[in-house]
Amino acid sequence: MIRAYVEGNDKMLIQALFIVRLGLDSSEFIIEELGGGLSSLLKLPQKLKENIDSGEKVVVILDSDNPPHAGFIQVRDSLNSFKVDNNLEFDYFLLPNHNDDGNLENLLELIINDSHEALFSCFDEYVNCLTQNNTGHFHLPVKKTKIYAYVDTLTPINQKKALKNGNYQFENSHYWNLQSPQLNGLVELLKRQLEE
Amino acid sequence: MITSLKIENFRAIKDLKLDDLGRVNLLLGKNNTSKTSILEAVFLLCAAGTPEIIHRVHLWRDLTLTTEDDLKFIFHNLNYNNKIKIEAENSKNNLYTILQISPNTKGTTSNASIEGNTTISDSTSGNQNVKSLDVKFSWKERHSKLQSSSANITHTGNNNFHFTNHTKKIPSIHAVMVASRINYAPNLEKRLEKLIISKQIDEIISILKTVDERIIDISVLSGRMVFVDLGIENLVPLNLVGDGMRRLFNILLAIYDAEDGIVIIDEIENGFHHSVLKKIWIAVLETSKRFNVQLFIATHNLETLKCLNSVLQLENNNMSSHQKDVRSYTIRMINEGLTSYKYDFDSFSTAIEENIEIR
């Protein structure tokens, strides 16, 4: 059994990767959503210890986020200290690519279905327009809105309800390319949980 | 206050340790993870001066102490070879206590069967016909030597047991157990009379209004029965009022009775409607702090835990001052043995708010 602790927004993508890229059945993994991300995880060493003691493979997937709030190096260092201080053994991956600052949205921008790239170009023009006309009341960038707009635009009216519930339809190849090499690092880490 | 507890060979517990206990200790876990056994072990240790307490512990499980075979129910795997040991460290005077219970094998016979010409004894399996248990209590206070005292429980036939007193006066902690079933608490009338005499009954009544605002008074009549005044024509026997009121009454009575001691509550949520749970927690936290009572509480009810979490974050009444007192222990069966996982308030609160399963 794999138990993945993930940043709240990341759950749907990780679930899709377990199913599509690893060929797992939903009974073979559990995804725990942490709305508080890293700060919540750091308060739960005993839960991770319990999971590991029970024979589960624990994997953590969080956003690196952007400075000054965090960033790849800060989150990596926090997790390494957390592992050492609590004598916990688990793998982790920091989105978007386990190297740069950023988050889920940065990764999602890279794994859209290529045939819909125009949608992003249009959105970028919209953001440029906002930037040029910013009176100081616009809070930019709007990355979450960009991804939402992408999915919303592709979703037929009779299927909008799922989108409102946060379902970005990651398993739908019309929307996303889950075979993208951009996901290879994350997928390799998930696969390693099956091998060890 | 007990600060750490180690239990060996008691009921389903082979070996379990709880460290860094607080004033309010929650025991969480799935069914059959020995939560109630932990509570019983705490009670046994605190009341070790009176060996007949084993009889009381049996009663909570609807077990009787009538035949010699009934003695083995407290031993792990019902095997006398698994000698019981319950150890605790106490913050008061750095008191360290050990309770050991073992079969007295003097004069016992082994169950034996004859196969062919060979006699096979099963004494090695711990199934001897034991008629007597030795209860040894050892303790050590700061800068003093370890002392010990012994007592004995012996089956004397005809469903009778003889309990000998300890050879020395032993340090004990006053502990009161509130069992999971809502029943008439032991010595209820005497304890209530004490509260009436000490003029504390009005406080209890004001808290009982949490579950039934009609309550006006509560009294003992003829020293034999407790009646409640609900403002109707006649007083009502306590047994006829709702489960929630009786349950809260039992809990409050236990806390008032156990000043500077311990109250043990099994399945605290029993009898309460969810709408009153927050007020129940406020009452339990406030009164137990006021009387310096350490709590051991077992539950696996999520709603109860969510209510506690939100109560501990209330800004009014300074409820957040209780956060530092709270510990939660998740008991899990790992590799056929029990393990405890401790959460302080911060971790407990995070787990509850993130819907992480700690029950």
Mutate to test the interface with B, among A30, A34, A38, A46 (most CBs of B within 10 A): A46
Question: Confidence band (pLDDT; 50, 70, 90) for B117?
Answer: very low
d(CA B286, CA A154): 56
Amino acid identity, position B354: E
- What is each CA distance from B152 to B132, B164, B166, B275, in whole angstroms? 7, 5, 8, 48
For A39, name the nearest residue in chain B, comparing CA atoms only. Answer: B350
Is A25 at the interface with chain B, CB within 8 A?
no
Looking at the domain covering A1-111+180-196, what would its CATH class be?
alpha beta
Least confident window among A20-29, A64-73, B79-88:
A64-73
Asked if residue B109 has pLDDT above 90, the reply is no
Tell me which residue in A44, A46, A54 faces B342 most closely, judged by beta carbons.
A46
Tell me which residue in B334, B343, B350 faces A40 most closely, judged by beta carbons.
B350
Question: Confidence band (pLDDT; 50, 70, 90) for B151?
Answer: very high
Least confident window among A92-96, B9-13, B190-194, B223-227:
B223-227
User: pLDDT: is B60 or B241 the higher one?
Assistant: B241
Whether residues A47 and B351 touch (CB distance < 8 A) is answered with yes
Residues 59-88 of chain A whose Cβ lies under 8 A from any Cβ of chain B: none
Mutate to test the interface with A, among B334, B350, B353, B358 (most CBs of A within 10 A): B350
User: Given this model, what pLDDT does residue B120 score?
Assistant: 40
Whether residues A46 and B330 touch (CB distance < 8 A) is answered with yes
pLDDT tens-digit series, residues A80-135: 999 999 999 999 999 999 999 999 999 999 999 999 999 999 999 999 999 999 98
What is the ipTM score, two decimals? Answer: 0.91
What residues does each domain of chain B span?
Answer: 175-353
Specify the domain boundaries for CATH 3.40.50 within chain A.
1-111+180-196
What's the mean pLDDT when you consider all of chain B? 89
User: Given this model, what pLDDT does residue A162 score?
Assistant: 82
User: Given this model, what pLDDT does residue A163 score?
Assistant: 85
Say which residues have a Cβ less than 8 Å from residue A104's Cβ, sequence separation at least 6. Answer: A7, A9, A10, A13, A63, A95, A96
Whether residues B334 and A34 touch (CB distance < 8 A) is answered with no
Asked if residue A65 has pLDDT above 70, the reply is yes
Question: Confidence band (pLDDT; 50, 70, 90) for B89?
Answer: very high
Q: Confirm if B163 and B196 have CB atoms less than 8 A apart.
A: no
Q: Tell me how close the Cα of B331 comes to any Cα of chain A, in angstroms.
A: 10
User: Given this model, what pLDDT does residue B67 score?
Assistant: 87
User: Given this model, what pLDDT does residue A161 score?
Assistant: 86
Tell me which residue in A35, A44, A53 faces B334 most closely, judged by beta carbons.
A53
pLDDT tens-digit series, residues A166-175: 889 999 999 9
User: Given this model, what pLDDT does residue A73 score?
Assistant: 96
Bridge partners of B119, per DSSP, are B114
Least confident window among A74-78, B20-24, B184-188:
B184-188
Whether residues A54 and B350 touch (CB distance < 8 A) is answered with no
d(CA B123, CA B161): 23
pLDDT tens-digit series, residues B288-339: 999 999 999 999 899 999 999 999 999 877 899 999 999 999 999 998 899 9
Q: Which candidate, B119, B175, B126, B140, places its Cα nearest to that of B293?
A: B175
What's the mean pLDDT when you consider all of chain A? 94
Least confident window among A58-62, B113-117, B143-147:
B113-117
Q: Confirm if B29 and B300 have CB atoms less than 8 A apart.
A: yes
Say which residues have a Cβ less than 8 Å from residue B275's Cβ, sequence separation at least 6. Answer: none
Is B20 at the interface with chain A, CB within 8 A?
no
User: Given this model, what pLDDT does residue B114 score?
Assistant: 39
pLDDT tens-digit series, residues B153-175: 999 988 889 999 888 989 888 99
Return the CATH architecture of domain B175-353: 3-Layer(aba) Sandwich (3.40)
For B343, name the nearest residue in chain A, comparing CA atoms only. Answer: A46
Mutate to test the interface with A, among B20, B323, B356, B357 (most CBs of A within 10 A): B356
Percent of chain B with pLDDT over 70: 93
User: Given this model, what pLDDT does residue B121 score?
Assistant: 42
Structure tokens at A46: 């005993």
Say which residues have a Cβ less than 8 Å from residue A188's Cβ, sequence separation at least 6. Answer: none
Whether residues A35 and B354 touch (CB distance < 8 A) is answered with yes
Average pLDDT in the A172-187 region?
A: 96
d(CA A4, CA A94): 13
Whether residues A32 and B350 touch (CB distance < 8 A) is answered with no
Question: Confidence band (pLDDT; 50, 70, 90) for B118?
Answer: very low
The SS3 of residue B299 is coil
Burial tier of A169 (Cβ tally within 10 Å: 0-12, 13-18, 19+): middle
Task: Kindly list the residues from chain A whose CB atom is less than 8 angstroms away from the CB atom of residue B19.
Answer: none
**Other CB atoms within 10 Å distance of the CB of residue B199:** 8
Average pLDDT in the B334-359 region?
A: 96
Q: H/E element holding B18?
A: strand B13-18
Say which residues have a Cβ less than 8 Å from residue B133's Cβ, sequence separation at least 6. Answer: B51, B54, B71, B101, B102, B103, B104, B152, B153, B154
